[in-house]
Amino acid sequence: MTASDQPSARISIGDLRGSPARRRRELTVRILFLAAASLSIVISLLIIVSLAGQAWTFISQVDLALIVERGWFPRRDLYSIQTIVAGTLTVATIGMLVAAPLGLGAAIYLSEYASSRVRRTIKPILEILAGIPSVVLGYFALQVISPTIVDPICPGATEGFNMAAAGIGVGILITPLIASVAEDAMYAVPGSLREASYGLGARKRTTSLKIVFPAAISGIVAALILGFSRGIGETMVVSIAAGATGGSLFTVNPCEPGQTMTAAMTALATGSDQVRGATLAFPSLFFVGLVLFVFTLVLNLVADRFVRSVRIRY
Amino acid sequence: MASTPRAQAMTGAEAVRRSIEGGRTDWRSVAFQGFLVLLLVLTLAVLAWLLVVVFVNGVPVLAERGADFLFSPLASRPAEAGVGQAIVGSLYLMLFVALISFPLGIGAAVYLEEYAHDSRFTRLINTIVRNLAGVPSIVYGLLGLAIFVVALADFTGGRSLLSGGLTMAILVLPIVIITSAEALRAVPGAIREAAFGVGATRWEVVRSHVLPYAAPGIFTGTILSMARAFGETAPLILVGAVVGGFNVEYDNILGTLQGRYTALPTTVYDWARKPPSFSGNVYAAIVVLIVVLLLVNALAIYLRNRFERRW
C-alpha cells in the first residue's frame, strides 16, 4: 500500500478500536457475565458463613460432654454426633453394597459388551431411574422393600422402619450415578489398548477385567466415591424409611430404625416450629449441616482429583 | 459414530478367538457375560418394579377422584385431600428457577467458556461450581433457612414462597452452569474465528453465532435441571414448605410471594408420614409427580436427538 505517502490518512489506534458505543456495550456485557460467574463464589461463601456461624453458637453453648453421649435426642438436649454419623455410615454402606455391583456391572456391560443400539436404549432408561425423586424411592423403600426384602432377613423389624430398607433405597438411587461415571471412564479407554490385548490372544473377558478396568480405575474409584458421597447426603429416603424421627440410640444394626445426619435435620425441621425457638435445636441443625458439608466436600474433592487424572491420561 | 476403532477391535477379537479356540465354547466367559447382563437386568427390573407398584396403587385413586384430586386443596381427610395447592406451589417454584437460575447460569457459563482466559480465578470458579453441584441439597435448605427465612425475614416474609423459590434457584444454578458450559464447549472454534474474521466483537460473536448453535444443548440442560428442582424435597422442608393442611387464598402478588406454600414432593412426604389410610393419596400424588417428570425428560431427550449436531 502507498498510504504512508500521505501522513494525514494514516490509520490510528483509535480507528481500529471501533465505535465508542460498541466498546461500551462490550464492556457492560463482559461485566454482567463476570458478575454472574462470580455469584458462585458468593454462594459458597454464604454457605460456609451461615453454617459456621450457627454451628459455632451450638458448640460454644452445648455441654460438650453431651456430644459423646450415646444417643441423639435433641428434644431432651442430647446431641450425640457419633450416633447420627454411625447411622449415616451404616445407611451409606448398605447403599454401596447394593449400588457398587449393580452400577459397575451395568457399566462394564454397556461399555465393553453392548452394541451401540443397546447402549442408546439403556442409557436414557438409566437416566430416568436417576431422575426418580428421592421422596418416591423413600416411600417405595418403606412400603415395598422393607416388607418383601428386609423382613425375611430381619424378623420383627419394627413397623417396617429400618436402616436396611433405607440403605437399599439409597443404593437404588445411586446405582445410575455410579454406572454413568464408571461407564464414561471405561468408554474413554482408547481402543488401541483393547486391540493390543486381543493381539496377544486375550479373551474379551480378560481384556475387560485385566486391561480396560485397570486402565479406567481412577474413574471407577471416582464413581464409587461420588456414589458414597451422594449416599451420605441423601435425605428423603432415610427420613421416610429409616424411622427414629424422635431420636435414636447409638446403633449400627441395619435391622433397627436409625437416624442419619440428614434425617436428623428434617426431623428437627418438621417436628414443630421449635426449630426457631430458643433451644439449641436450631443451631444444632447447622452444626450437623456443617459436619455433613465437610464430609461430602472432602469426598467430592477427592473424586474430582481422580476424574481429572483420567482426563489427563487419555 | 465414534466407535469405529472399537468395532474394528471387536472383529479382530472375533477372528483371533475363532482361530485359537477352534469353535470351543469358553463357559467362563459366557458365565461372566451372563452375570453382567443379570446385574443390568436387575437394575432395570427395580425401575420396572417401582413404576408398576406406583401405577397399580395410584391410578385407581386418580381414576376414582378424577380432576377433583388434581384441584382439591390439602385436607386432613384422605378422601378430600388433593394436590391442587401443591401443583400451583411447584409451578411457582419452577418460575423462580427459570427466571433466576437460567439467565445467571447461562451468563456464568458464557463468561467461563467465551470470555475468561485460563487463569487462576477461572479455575477457582470452575472448581467451586463443580463442588457446589455436589453439595447435598439439604445443605442448600440450611442456606435458605439462615439467609432468606431468618436474616432477610422482612423482605421474604420468613417461611414463604419467595424463600423457597430463591433457595431452589440457588440449588440448580451450578447444574445450569455445568450443562450450559458443556453445550458452549461443543461449538467448534472455527465458528467463532469466522465471526471474528469479519470484525464482530466478542459479544456479537457470542450472541449471533455461539449461542444459537449451543441453544439445543443449553435448552436440554436447563429442562433437566428444572426436572431436578421439581422433584427436590429436602431443602423445601427446611425453608418452610408447609407440611400438613393449609387453606389460604392470596389475592395479591406480594401476599402470594410472602405467604406460605407447599409443593408436590413435599406433599408426598407429608402424606407418607400419615396413617395408612393416606396410602392411596400418596401413590396418586407420586403418579402425578412421575408423569410430569417423565414428560419433561422425554421432551429433553427428544430435543437433544432432534437438534443434536455433529461437527
pTM, whole model, 2 decimals?
0.86
**A171-190 pLDDT, tens digit each:** 999 999 999 999 988 988 99
Residue scoring higher pLDDT (B19 or A214): A214
> Count of residues for chain B?
311
Per the CB < 8 Å rule, is A292 touching B139?
A: yes
Per the CB < 8 Å rule, is A37 touching B112?
A: yes
Those residues with Cβ within 8 angstroms of residue A48's Cβ, 6 or more apart along the chain or in another chain: none
Residues of each domain in chain B carrying CATH 1.10.3720.10: 73-307
What is the C-alpha to C-alpha distance for residues B15 and A258, in angstroms, rounded to an integer? 56
Per the CB < 8 Å rule, is A129 touching B132?
A: no
| A71: confidence class by pLDDT, cuts 50, 70, 90 | confident
SS3 B87: helix
pLDDT at A157: 58
- Give buried/exposed letters for A249-265 (b at 16+ CB in 10 A, else e): bbbeebbbbbbbbbbbb
Residues of A in contact with B233 (CB under 8 A): 133-135, 235-236
pLDDT at B111: 94
Nearest CB among B29, B147, B234 relative to A235 is that of B234
Query: For the CA atoms of chain B, what is the radius of gyration?
Result: 25
Would you state the cell numbers that stand for residue A119, as one nine-digit string? 447402549
SS3 A249: strand
Residue scoring higher pLDDT (B173 or B86): B173
The H-assigned helical ranges of A132-273 are 134-140, 151-153, 163-187, 191-199, 204-206, 213-215, 217-233, 236-241, 261-271
> Does B129 touch chain A if contact means CB atoms closer than 8 Å?
yes
Residue scoring higher pLDDT (A306 or A271): A306
pLDDT at B250: 62
Query: Of chain A residues 49-108, which have a CB less than 8 A from chain B?
Result: 50-51, 53-54, 101-103, 105-106, 108
Residues of B in contact with A175 (CB under 8 A): 43, 46
For the cut 80, the answer to whether the pLDDT of residue B2 exceeds it is no
Those residues with Cβ within 8 angstroms of residue B32's Cβ, 6 or more apart along the chain or in another chain: A205
Q: How far is A156 from chain B (nearest CA, A)?
A: 19
pLDDT at A1: 45
Q: For the structural domain made of B73-307, what CATH number should be given?
A: 1.10.3720.10
Residue range B194-214: average pLDDT?
91
Would you state the cell numbers that stand for residue B156, as one nine-digit string? 421474604
Which residue, A52, A59, A56, A54, is CA-closest to A81?
A59
pLDDT at A306: 84
What is the C-alpha to C-alpha distance for residues A171 and A174, in angstroms, rounded to an integer? 5
Whose grid coordinates read 417396617?
A160
Nearest CB among A51, A175, A192 relative to B142 is that of A51
Q: What are phi and psi of B37, to 5 degrees?
A: -60, -40
Which residue, B94, B71, B96, B86, is CA-closest to B268?
B86
Residue range B61-89: average pLDDT?
81
SS3 A139: helix
Per the CB < 8 Å rule, is B44 touching A125?
A: yes
Residue range A48-72: average pLDDT?
80
> Does A20 touch chain B if contact means CB atoms closer than 8 Å?
no
Average pLDDT, chain A: 84
> Count of residues for chain A?
314
Query: For the CA atoms of chain A, what is the radius of gyration?
Result: 27
> Does A143 touch chain B if contact means CB atoms closer than 8 Å?
yes
> Does B269 touch chain A if contact means CB atoms closer than 8 Å?
yes
Nearest CB among B1, B136, B289 relative to A233 is that of B136
Per the CB < 8 Å rule, is A194 touching B9?
A: yes
What is the C-alpha to C-alpha distance for residues A236 and B238, in angstroms, rounded to an integer? 12
> Does B13 touch chain A if contact means CB atoms closer than 8 Å?
yes
For the cut 70, the answer to whether the pLDDT of residue A304 exceeds it is yes
For the cut 80, the answer to whether the pLDDT of residue A7 exceeds it is no
Per the CB < 8 Å rule, is A207 touching B13?
A: yes
CA distances from B2 to A42, A190, A271, B273, B285 (A): 40, 11, 54, 49, 42
> Does A132 touch chain B if contact means CB atoms closer than 8 Å?
yes
Residue range A79-95: average pLDDT?
89
Residue range B39-49: average pLDDT?
93
Contact A311, A189 (CB under 8 A): no
Q: Please report the sign of the dihedral spanned by the C-alpha atoms of residue A122, residue A123, residue A128, residue A129.
A: positive
> Does B12 touch chain A if contact means CB atoms closer than 8 Å?
yes
What is the side-by-side order of every strand in the sheet holding A71-73? Answer: A78-79, A71-73, A248-249
Query: Of chain B residues 151-170, which have a CB less than 8 A from chain A?
Result: 170
pLDDT at B273: 83
**A238-279 pLDDT, tens digit each:** 988 887 666 777 777 777 788 888 988 888 887 654 444 447
**B111-170 pLDDT, tens digit each:** 999 998 888 888 899 999 999 998 999 999 999 998 988 888 888 777 888 899 999 999
> How many beta-carbon pairs below 8 A join chains A and B?
270
Best mutation target, B29, B41, B46, B290, to test chain A (most A CBs within 10 A): B46
**CA-based angle A12:A16:A17, to the nearest 5?**
115
Residue range A80-105: average pLDDT?
92
Residues of B in contact with A182 (CB under 8 A): none
CA distances from B65 to A94, A119, B131, B235, B272 (A): 39, 40, 44, 30, 19
CA distances from B29 to A162, B5, B8, B76 (A): 39, 23, 20, 58
Pairing relation of β-strands A78-79 and A248-249? unpaired
pLDDT at A249: 75
pLDDT at B10: 60
> Does A172 touch chain B if contact means CB atoms closer than 8 Å?
yes
E-only strand ranges, chain A: 71-73, 78-79, 248-249
Per the CB < 8 Å rule, is B132 touching A40?
A: yes
pLDDT at A20: 83
pLDDT at B1: 41
Average pLDDT, chain B: 85
Q: For the structural domain made of A66-313, what CATH number should be given?
A: 1.10.3720.10
CA distances from A163 to A141, A166, A259 (A): 10, 5, 8
Nearest CB among A46, A109, A297 relative to B131 is that of A297
**B72-85 pLDDT, tens digit each:** 777 777 777 788 88
pLDDT at A113: 92
Residues of A in contact with B284 (CB under 8 A): none
Which residue, B158, B42, B232, is CA-closest to A133?
B232
ipTM reported for the complex, 2 dp: 0.87
